[in-house]
Amino acid sequence: MTRVLVLNGPNLGRLGVREPDVYGALSLADLRDSVARWSGELGVDAEVRQTDDEAELVHWLYEAVDSGAHVVLNPAAFTHYSYSLRDAAAMVTKAGLVLVEVHISNPMAREEFRHTSVIGPVATGTVAGFGFDSYRLALRAVAAKA
Ligand code: DQA
């Protein structure tokens, strides 16, 4: 079965309480439930993780490469400046695995510093601006491409 790591960066553990006007009222636990349902429908094996730690996120991308898992990645604020995460993400796509960058909000419609993604150029593709549905669309893209 196609394996997918659904990886989430800093502050996404606070979904539901953090800026609900931007990110909605649902929590990370709700996201886990939705991903479990969607992955069942798509016939993929998806695991949701979240960390505030850049090194841990980098190591999860190594794990994806070593185990042949595809990746749905919400890099959160690391999107905009983390070259270490970018280099690790490049290893995933260079290994022939799919990596979809996702965002709950649409960073292009927000502050200027969010308009730059250092991850986008090494991702397979990006889905942004559809709330939690961004993850569903990303999982569909992985299932279709993997
Ligand atoms: C985000 C957008 C980022 O700019 C922000 O730093 C986040 C969340 C999103 O999902 O919309 O933490 O990645």
Residue 111: CB atoms within 10 A of its CB come to 8
Report whether 141 contacts 44 (CB < 8 A). Answer: no
Q: What is the pLDDT of residue 91?
A: 98
CATH number listed for the domain at residues 2-145: 3.40.50.9100
- Calculate how far, in angstroms, residue 142's C-alpha sits from the geometric centre of ligand 1: 21
CA proximity to 79, closest of 15, 35, 123, 137: 123
Name the pTM for this structure: 0.97
User: Looking at residue 26, what is its pLDDT?
Assistant: 95
| String of DSSP letters for 15-84 | TTTS-HHHH-S--HHHHHHHHHHHHHHHT-EEEEEE-S-HHHHHHHHHHHHHHT-EEEEE-GGGGGT-HH
Q: Is 14 in the pocket of ligand 1 (CB under 6 A)?
A: no
Active site residue 23: yes
Q: Which ranges of the chain have pLDDT less than 50? A: none
What pLDDT score does 146 carry? 78
Beta pairing class for 45-50 and 70-74: unpaired
126/99 Cα distance (integer angstroms): 9
pLDDT of res. 140? 98
